[in-house]
Structure 1
Amino acid sequence: MTTTLQILPRVLQSSADRGWNALSAALVHIPRGLSNVRGVDVHTLAMHVGPPVNADCFCDGTRLRRIQKPGDLAFVPAGFDSSWEDDAECQILRLGLHPSLLEQAAEELRGDPSKIDAIPRLQLHDARIEAIGFAIKADLEADTPSDSLFIDHLASALAIRLIETATDRRPDSKGYKEPRLSPRQLKLLNEFIEENLDQPLRLADLATLAGISVTWLKTLFRNSTGTPVHQYVIRRRVEYARALIATTKTPAREVALAAGFANQSHMSTTMRRVLGVIPGDIRRPD
């Protein structure tokens, strides 16, 4: 009789110290062998990111033997036990999403959260989820983390796409009319963002200011401005930094902090991406 040894994964990188609220992420190395995974209180999405391996997967009475390749996905809802046996060591990106995130996304899609039942998907192929996963992986591996608003945006997009691919029904949007922020709400948010560019800006704080949920903030802000919250904040930080450089003799490192960037390098990289210039290209006052 052959005995299969239970193996333990090793976390290579984690979001635990990055202040992420909407989701958790870990880049995990898994040795060859069997992994029995007990159900947890969050939905788990695993994306294969290493060399291909042969895998034997089991969850909720369903067994699947497959070759796992980079970008292949598996979704295990909260509370479900699962097992995975690989014929070689592998690497996965493991994401954890609280069920409330999918419920909020269901509301955003005008659905009834009570009717959105997550189901296990042991072999999920979706280019959009894959792109979100690799964006999260890139942020985990970056020396300078992205603004938390960007991660919240990715989490929201991920939750919406999971509703469309890993639940037993889709919300009905027939007859829906696009809502927007009121002029007063938009004014309050704009003023708050401008006054706090040098501070971490969190969706929860902005939603409280506007008197709405985080989910509705993201939807209404995008509908009202044509831009997601995180992109709007990044552009305002870049434009504020450019104005400081062009009108004052403040050292670049102090400009970066005043505009809410982690450091001077972070400001330069973001400015190049958004404006196509770096701080050194901007003429200083005489």
Structure 2
Amino acid sequence: MRGSVISSVRNPGSQTFLAKEHAVGIVLAPARKLRASLGSDRITEYDAPIGCIAVNPAGVDSSLAWSETRKNLVVAIPPQILSELALQEFDLANVELEPPPFGTVDLIALGIAQRISVELTGKATPNELYLDSLVTLFSTHLLRTYANNMRQIPSPRGGLSAKSARRVEEYLREHFTEKVHVAELAAVAGISPNHFIVRFAKTFGMPPHRYLINLRLDLAEKLLAEGEIAIAEIAYMAGFSDQSHLATTMKRYRGRTPTELRYMR
């Protein structure tokens, strides 16, 4: 899972800890006269209604004391996982969480937390895949609502966004041995085909066709070095129409033919 979750009912008590992961608590039943601190010795006393949220960023010490039985759910998210999610979904880096004031109610977070709690406390064995999807949903909401100091990764001027470039690159690496059309790649990037080639070239330093050829030649060279497969078969496996097409292309872009390359190694 992309984090861990704990649903608990705790008797009156207190705790102090230094969070190694981003820890977020959601109150599932009203609690009165909580005494809490976060990142300092200053104690704040407050009443916590259902849906009250406490965000404790990784590396920040905190304390909490409560005089009544309390019911809550805690979601712990490793900083690396949250950063990866921010990069993947929002093209954002250097993510930091800004805790809201004590007593803040977050109804969206409450809804997700209640679903997690039901899954954890039900009679059936919790479904890990379902819990993982809920934790991801919770983490996405956390980024949208409580992240600050986020810097969007710049893309080359006039090029693809970091997110689009990553998607296109992944698509090409998965389909480079097939016939790939510019319209397909433009759809993956989410832009019009008319603008795609120029923006791709500004991002990757070459047009899509050349990038595709490089991927095919890299695979062909790897298979040639292994020396176990016939050159004609390698041509087919790497996405070339025939052995002659492979030889012509490799000579043009790599300076040698498949036969020369095989006997050089």
Q: 1:49 aligns with which of 28, 45, 53?
A: 28
Partner of 2:80: 100
For 2:23, give the aligned amino acid.
T
Q: Structure 1, residues 88-108: CA drift from partner, whole Å, max 9, x if none?
A: 221111221111221111102
For 2:143, give the aligned amino acid.
I
Partner of 2:63: 83
1:110–1:171 Cα contact (<8 Å) kept = no
SS of corresponding position for 1:38 = strand
Q: State the 1:171 CA deviation.
A: 5.8
CA gap 1:145/1:185 in 2 versus in 1, 3 angstroms: farther
For structure 2, the residue ranges without an aligned partner over 5 or more in a row are 155-159, 176-187, 189-265
For 1:137, give the aligned amino acid.
S
1:22–1:151 Cα contact (<8 Å) kept = no
Partner of 1:161: 141
Once the two structures are aligned, what percentage of the paired residues are identical?
18
2:91–2:152 Cα contact (<8 Å) kept = yes
Q: Equivalents in 1 of 2:121, 2:127: separation in Å?
A: 14
SS of corresponding position for 2:116 = helix
1:109–1:173 Cα contact (<8 Å) kept = no
Q: Equivalents in 2 of 1:170, 1:132: separation in Å?
A: 24
1:37–1:81 Cα contact (<8 Å) kept = yes
Q: Which has more radius of gyration?
A: 2
Q: 1:38 aligns with which of 8, 12, 17?
A: 17
TM-score (norm 2): 0.53
Q: Equivalents in 1 of 2:115, 2:7: separation in Å?
A: 13
For 2:38, give the aligned amino acid.
C
Q: Equivalents in 1 of 2:173, 2:129: separation in Å?
A: 22
Partner of 1:116: 95
CA gap 1:39/1:86 in 2 versus in 1, 3 angstroms: same
Residue correspondence of structure 1 range 55-74 to structure 2 within 5 A = 55-61=34-40, 63-74=43-54
TM-score (norm 1): 0.50
Q: State the 1:146 CA deviation.
A: 4.8
CA gap 1:72/1:24 in 2 versus in 1, 3 angstroms: same
Q: Equivalents in 1 of 2:119, 2:153: separation in Å?
A: 33
Q: Is residue 112 of structure 2 the alignment partner of residue 132 of structure 1?
A: yes
Q: Equivalents in 1 of 2:96, 2:79: separation in Å?
A: 10
2:8–2:71 Cα contact (<8 Å) kept = yes
Q: Structure 1, residues 125-184: CA drift from partner, whole Å, max 9, x if none?
A: 322211111111011012224542222221222112112222223565998676587499
Q: Structure 1, residues 216-250: CA drift from partner, whole Å, max 9, x if none?
A: xxxx9xxxxxxxxxxxxxxxxxxxxxxxxxxxxxx
Q: Equivalents in 2 of 1:160, 1:97: separation in Å?
A: 11
Residue correspondence of structure 1 range 1-286 to structure 2 within 5 A = 21-33=1-13, 35-61=14-40, 63-113=43-93, 115-121=94-100, 122-170=102-150, 172=152, 179=167, 182=171
2:25–2:75 Cα contact (<8 Å) kept = yes
2:119–2:127 Cα contact (<8 Å) kept = no
Greater helix content: 2
For structure 1, the residue ranges without an aligned partner over 5 or more in a row are 1-20, 187-219, 221-286
1:53–1:90 Cα contact (<8 Å) kept = no
SS of corresponding position for 1:71 = coil
